[in-house]
Amino acid sequence: MKFSSIKTKLFLALVLVSVIPIVIVTYNSYRSYTNLVNQQTSLVASNTIHNTVKGIEDIFGNIERISLTIQQQTSSATAYTTVSDELKKLASTSDSYDIFIIQNKLKLIFENLLLSYDYVNGIYLFSPDGKNISYGSTAELKVGYVPLQDAWYQKTIANKGQLYIGEPGVKPYIINSEPSLVFSRALYDMKTQQFLGVFMLDCSLDIFKGLNQDAVPNMSYFVLANDDGNIIYDSTGQNTDSRLPEDLTRKTEAMQGDELEFYNENNLTVIQRLPVYHWTVIANISLSELYEKYGISNKLILYISLTCAVIFILLSILLSNWITKPITQLAKIMRKNKSQKFVTTEIKPKRVDEIGFLYTEYNKMMQDIDIFVRESYQNKILTMDSQMKALEAQINSHFLYNTLESINSIAEIEEVESIAVMTKALGDMFRYSIKTDSELVFARDEIQHVDNYMAIQQIRYGSKICFVKELEDSVLEAKILKLILQPLVENAVYHGLENKRGNGMLLLKGFLEPDTKRIIFEIRDDGIGIQEERLKEIQALLDQPPEFMGLGHRSRQSIGIKNVHSRIALYYGSDFGLTITSEPALGTTITLRLPSK
């Protein structure tokens, strides 16, 4: 089945648990932030249009206050002369000198206005009969100009004292005129309501420059237009003295209320009327540039989310590997055990959780199965093999034993003592080896078997080998496996003492170990010893478990130290057997450990 491994399932679970919340949080954050950007966009547009409208209203209010209070100002020439008083004198005189005197009396008032407002080009007073007084360094009236028939003058009088705002553009009646905006008001006597004349301010279009301060730089601009669709002011400075586009004109004319908001491609346009002044404010916000500005945060949200997702995926891989690795290793080892090798294992570092418990119980189970199989299966097979070997030996030994009896009889008749001794000892050895009553014998019988073997070897080698026995009485009465000492003594003679120059000694020692009460046999010789490499090979061979070759098969290691060690380990358990130590030129010691019962 696909994705059947626990590692894959755990990885997918960790990824789902970690990545899905990230996706949800990212989606909600992105959507919330997009909504916030949209709200901010509307807020920017609303603030821009409202600030612009408020700025225009403040400008108009300021102009209106100037025009209302100008006629009440007191001249510096006398504490009791007002602008209205001087206008009355201007209307009643035609003398140039009197007009000059009136102009000087009002000079300080109007100069203060010119200095206070840098966008004021000129200040003008017109009497009802057309005479005028003008103040301005760059906006002087043309000589002989009489405004009585001009449209702006007629509309100013028609407003009955209300502020009139003229059309922006170049004024033909002003010398060196540049595009400007004219504000005018008809002045009346406060008591008698007598028409005194007209007050006019000529202002440059810089009057609207302060409106740009609250706009968003490079993202918004606004346009002022009158009811006829003529552009009065453009914050970009590009569309002055021109008309609104037709689509904006149509939308403006079709407005039901005082404010309209609509989207046009990548722009947000807000239109608001100024009904008192018959003007329209049009603000435009560039959404693409605004989104680009706020889009950095959107990208940051995405980058952070992707980074977190990658980190969580990597952590999921590491965690799934870390958690499932010991389980995977255990599964591989269990597959190996199909061949009945009973492999145990351990987890590093040691763990005390459920996985550590699983390893411990698995090892215990393998050991129990191994013991069970060895005791109930391998031992039976090896016992059968031993019985076959014994049967083969018995068949051959009967013939040899009868032959040796014949030779011994002839040697006694002929009085050849050495042959008699050798044949007697060899016969006793054959008779001992073919006994099949039990696998266990008394240790004294096993020692007698060794004595028979050494009797033969001492006739062969003479005084070259000194055989010494150090045996405790308690050991002699113990029962041990048959034929485990003589092969080791034989190994010491042929491999340790035979090739040694001079005489040698062979010690057979048997005692009970004080602490464990185990039976210990030591076969020690002072022969040529074993080379280090060969000794390691022998020790490695002893570490290998007993192996059944099959009925009828014989290994060259079936006798000797390996055979003895395997028989002891199979019969008594792996805690018993033999060990070997040796030093070249100094000798070899084989230690046999057996249970006392």
Q: Which of residues 428 and 7 earns the better pLDDT score? A: 428
* pLDDT value, residue 292: 65
Q: Alpha helix (H) ranges present in 71-202? A: 83-92, 96-116, 151-158
pLDDT reported for residue 551:
45
What's the confidence (pLDDT) of residue 552? 45
Listed range (16-20, 207-211, 373-377, 479-483) with the worst mean pLDDT: 373-377
**pTM listed for this prediction:** 0.44
Confidence of residue 504 (pLDDT cuts 50, 70, 90): very high
Q: Which amino acid is residue 552, in one-letter code?
A: G
DSSP 348-412: SS---SHHHHHHHHHHHHHHHHHHHHIIIIIHHHHHHHHHHHHHHHHHHHHHHHHHHHHHHHHHH
591 band by pLDDT with thresholds 50, 70 and 90: very high
215 closest CA partner among 269, 267, 162, 283: 283
What per-residue confidence (pLDDT) applies to 352?
65
The answer to whether residues 125 and 106 touch, using CB atoms and an 8 Å cutoff, is yes
Residue 102 contacts residue 89 (beta carbons within 8 Å) = yes
Model confidence band, residue 15 (pLDDT cutoffs 50, 70, 90): confident
For residues 544 and 539, what is the distance between their CA atoms, to the nearest angstrom?
9
The stretch 425-449 carries a mean pLDDT of 79
Q: Which residues face 593 on adjacent strands?
A: 520, 577
Residues 6+ apart with CB under 8 A from 170: 177, 178, 179, 180
Domain range 467-595, CATH architecture = 2-Layer Sandwich (3.30)
Tell whether the model's pLDDT for residue 2 goes beyond 50.
no
Instruction: Please indicate whether residue 383 or residue 592 has the higher confidence score (pLDDT).
Output: 592
Which residues of the chain are in CATH 3.30.565.10 domains? 467-595
What is the SS3 string spanning 464-475? HEEEEEEECHHH
* Top-confidence residue, 591 or 294: 591
**Overall average pLDDT of the 180-206 stretch:** 84
Q: Indicate if the pLDDT at residue 567 is higher than 80.
A: yes
Least confident of 85-99, 282-296, 514-528: 282-296
Residue closest to 205 by CA, chosen among 180, 226, 182, 222 = 180
* Higher pLDDT, residue 395 or 519: 519
Residue 341 is predicted with a pLDDT of: 59
Output the average pLDDT for the chain: 77
Distance CA(31)–CA(37), nearest Å, equals 10
To the nearest 10°, the Cα dihedral for 472, 476, 477, 482? 150
Structure tokens at 6: 């626990």
Q: In the prediction, which pLDDT does 387 show? A: 52
Q: Indicate if the pLDDT at residue 385 is higher than 50.
A: yes
What pLDDT is stored for residue 406 in this prediction?
Answer: 59
Q: Which of 541, 457, 527 is nearest to 495 (CA)?
A: 527
CATH fold group of domain 1-202+295-338 = Beta-Lactamase (3.30.450)
395 pLDDT higher than 50: no
- Is residue 297 predicted with pLDDT exceeding 70? no
pLDDT of residue 1: 42
Q: Residue 466 has what pLDDT? A: 93
According to DSSP, the β-strands at 504-512 and 465-471 are: parallel
- Residue-wise over 424-441: b if at least 16 C-beta within 10 A, else e? bbbbbbbebbbeeeebeb
Residue 594 has pLDDT above 90, yes or no: yes
- Confidence class for position 172, pLDDT limits 50, 70, 90: confident
Structure tokens at 210: 């302060």
Q: Computed from CA positions of residues 87, 88, 89, 90, in that sequence, does the dihedral angle turn out positive or negative?
A: positive
pLDDT of residue 436: 55
CA-closest candidate to residue 166, choices 124, 137, 138:
124
Tell me what the mean pLDDT of segment 142-166 comes to: 87
Rounded Cα distance, 151 and 95, in Å: 28
Count the Cβ atoms, other than its own, within 10 Å of residue 515. Answer: 6
Average pLDDT over residues 47-60: 76
User: For residue 576, is pLDDT > 70?
Assistant: yes
Give the integer Cα–Cα distance in Å for 221 and 208.
12
Tell me, what's the pLDDT at 435? 67
For the stretch 214-238, pLDDT in tens is 555 555 677 888 777 778 777 776 6
Query: Residue 31: pLDDT above 50?
Result: yes
Averaging pLDDT over each range in 155-169, 317-331, 395-409, which range is the top one?
155-169
Region 524-543: mean pLDDT is 91
> For residue 579, what pLDDT is reported?
93
Q: What is the pLDDT of residue 378?
A: 62
523, 488 in Cβ contact below 8 A?
A: yes
Report the pLDDT averaged over residues 274-281: 74
> What pLDDT is attached to residue 79?
47
For residue 531, the model assigns a pLDDT of: 92
Which amino acid does the sequence have at 365?
A: M
In sequence order, the 6+-apart residues with CB closer than 8 A to the CB of 244 are 223, 225, 229, 230, 231, 252, 282
Tokens of 597: 């019962």
Mean pLDDT, range 50-60, rounded to an integer: 78
Give the residue range(s) of CATH 3.30.450.20 domains in the chain. Answer: 1-202+295-338
Question: To the nearest whole percent, how much of the chain has pLDDT over 90?
Answer: 12
Greatest Cα pair distance in the chain:
194
- Express as a percent the part of the chain with pLDDT over 70: 76
**What's the pLDDT score for residue 444?**
93
Nearest to 69 by CA among 197, 193, 202, 199: 199
Distance, CA of 504 to CA of 508 (rounded, Å): 14
